[in-house]
Structure 1
Amino acid sequence: MQPLGPTSLTWRFFGDNRTLLVGPRAGILQLMLPELGQGVLDHSVFFADTFGRLMRSAGPILNTVYGGSGAPSTGTTVRDYHRDIKGVMPDGTRYHALDPDIYFWAHATFFDHLMYGTETFIRRLTEAEKNALYEESKTWYAMYGVSDRAVPETWADFQEYWHRMLTERVTAHKSARYSVGYATKGLPRPKRIPAPVWRVLGAPANAVARFLTVGGLPPETRRILDLPWSPADERRYRTFARTVRRFDGLWNVLPLPLRYTPHARRAFTRDGTPR
């Protein structure tokens, strides 16, 4: 299967920096699947080096989209990172990161990040575009070389799958609770910032982090994780998102380095800008 390229909608939207306003939605949702959360708890340095772990994961995922002819090789490498991630759940059942049901959930959260980020902060999508993006997501998933047994056939099927996962499968796993702890307790002070400076910067930084993190989560998962979110919070979030979308025309005339991630820009230079 050929990797994605400049004719794909995924190339146009996934590396757009506005999708960063979604916050850590994908990572939190991943950890809410009990088996995936347990795998991180048992095997990852996520708790000791949270931001470093996230940064190391982001590049390879972006390169499965923007890697061109190298995307399948990157996907294989990402898959093989997970070969030894296995263990036993608290109830005695076993898990393995390469179980297609677990692996596809991780991919589904990245696809959801793309869809939610685009519709919330870039522009509304037509049904035809949603269908096209879902078909492209199957091409993207194929880069990993993992069984497609768990992959819903159509966009409509994926929506049913997503609803079922949010209402029947995800939980407030310890890993997920840890990942949103800063939203209620505040961000830890960066080592390079003196305590007196952080006392000034910390309050607004915490407010923004909470707003983007909690606002960017599905309502079902806010309830599961006991994250406070009022109707007034929701109105502010929707107003913020609508304001960002209104500046789409201005955004599109900004220099490319301000608009797209480095991985996307390198791909545009190599294979052409999205069209």
Structure 2
Amino acid sequence: MPGKQGYFPADSMAVRVMSKRAVGLTYGERALVVGATNPLLYVGTAENTSHRETPYNRLALTGRLFEAVFLGTKAEADRALQFTRKKHERVVGGLSEAAGPNHPAGTRYSARDPHLMYMTMAFTFDSAEAMHDLLVRKLTDGEREGLWQDFVRWAELFGMPRSAAPATYREFRASFDTYLASDQLFLTAEARLVGAHLAGAEKQKYPLPGTLRHGAPVLALIVQGSLPSRIREIYGLRWSSADELAFRIAVRTMRAVHFRPRLAPAGPLRIALRGPSAPSYATLARGERELIRSGRPSMPGVDTTRRAQETA
């Protein structure tokens, strides 16, 4: 995918960052975990998805659509954009019960709401930036600005008005960090369950091939360690000094792996570190489907029967 003629040229910050597999395999889960603290985004998604009980299938689908726009040809991107717009036409509703003091019952949501479109992009950008800084290298100020502008363009392709987003990275960082520290964040009971699950709070149950099976615990550790401490506190995720030490070792190892290929000719390792991550998510999604077919739930505690009765 990377290097094809699409909406983002091969030397753009979007392609340079999003084609790193260390970013591609971690930013999505982190974005969903942090983003679940926005009750309108979480409820709007949960009430209008066919993957409510299979979050890794939803993550795989989202990752494939996002990568098609970032890394694919214009034709591939346009198909992903058309599919997403069609899905979003039906995402309209309201909170059936209060979700904290700032979101009373009846608060309306829509996938076409410019602010909610911006918030979706903001959570995605924040996680892509964080994972690149952690696992590859820290971006320069100029690279951050370039990545921000690419993400704004990306969100525009999905329909977000340009005016919905801050004009510069500096403005975004100030406003988003203020938001994360505010009382706007709230976890519904289901969001807490699903978010903790995606953060790797439970041992992986899926029948995965060797490389993914051995790598999943490390990726879970990295995702949890990358979360702002307040987000871990909201979820009630325990984080010990031993966890922090293991996290730091994993991060240093990953950064070292990325540093060496920059000094050497292109080879298998350098090639393996770059490319689309959707195939790995698809493998995880297949494991989740096998789990469901065997009669074991992927998400114990998520009740879709009540929603089916309400919409019947």
> Is the shorter-chain TM-score for this pair beyond 0.5, marking a shared fold?
yes
Distance, in Å, in 2 between the alignment partners of 1:185 and 1:18 is 21
Q: 1:66 aligns with which of 71, 75, 84?
A: 71
Corresponding residue SS for 1:87: strand
Structure 1's 84 and 205: CA in aligned 2 closer, same or farther, altered over 3 A?
Answer: same
Q: CA deviation at 1:205?
A: 7.4
Q: SS at the partner of 2:139?
A: coil
Q: What count of residue pairs does the alignment treat as equivalent?
A: 253
Matched, 1:236 2:246: yes
Give the structure-2-normalised TM-score.
Answer: 0.72
TM-score normalized by the length of structure 1: 0.81
Structure with greater contact order relative to length (CA < 8 Å, sep ≥ 6) = 1
**CA distance in 2: counterparts of 1:150 and 1:172, whole angstroms:** 24
> How many angstroms apart in 2 are the aligned matches of 1:88 and 1:240?
42
CA distance in 2, matches of 1:160, 1:128: 17
Equivalent residue number for residue 193 of structure 2: 178
Q: What is the percent sequence identity of the aligned residues? A: 24
Tell me the equivalent position of 1:99: 113
Query: Aligned runs of 1:195-274 on 2, under 5 Å?
Result: 207-208=217-218, 210-252=220-262, 253-255=266-268, 258-262=272-276
Note the residue ranges of structure 1 that are not aligned, 5 or more in a row: 194-200, 265-275
Q: CA deviation at 1:6?
A: 1.1
Deviation at 1:210, TM superposition (A): 4.3
Change (3 A) 1:160 1:175: farther
Corresponding position of 2:53: 48
**Mapped contact 1:65–1:140 kept (Cα < 8 A):** yes
Q: 1:38 to 1:80 in 2, by over 3 A?
A: same
- 8 Å contact kept, 2:222–2:250: no
Residue 14 of structure 2 corresponds to: 10
Over aligned residues, Cα RMSD in angstroms?
A: 2.7
Cα 1:23–1:146, aligned 2, differ >3 Å: closer, same or farther? closer
Aligned to 1:271: none
5 Å matches for 1:112-123?
112-123=126-137
Relative to structure 1, the CA distance from residue 237 to residue 96 in structure 2 (aligned partners, 3 Å threshold; closer, same or farther) is: same
Q: Secondary structure at the match of 2:93?
A: strand
Contact 1:23–1:212 under 8 Å retained in 2: no
Supply the distance in 1 between the matched residues of 2:34 and 2:41 (Cα, whole angstroms): 10
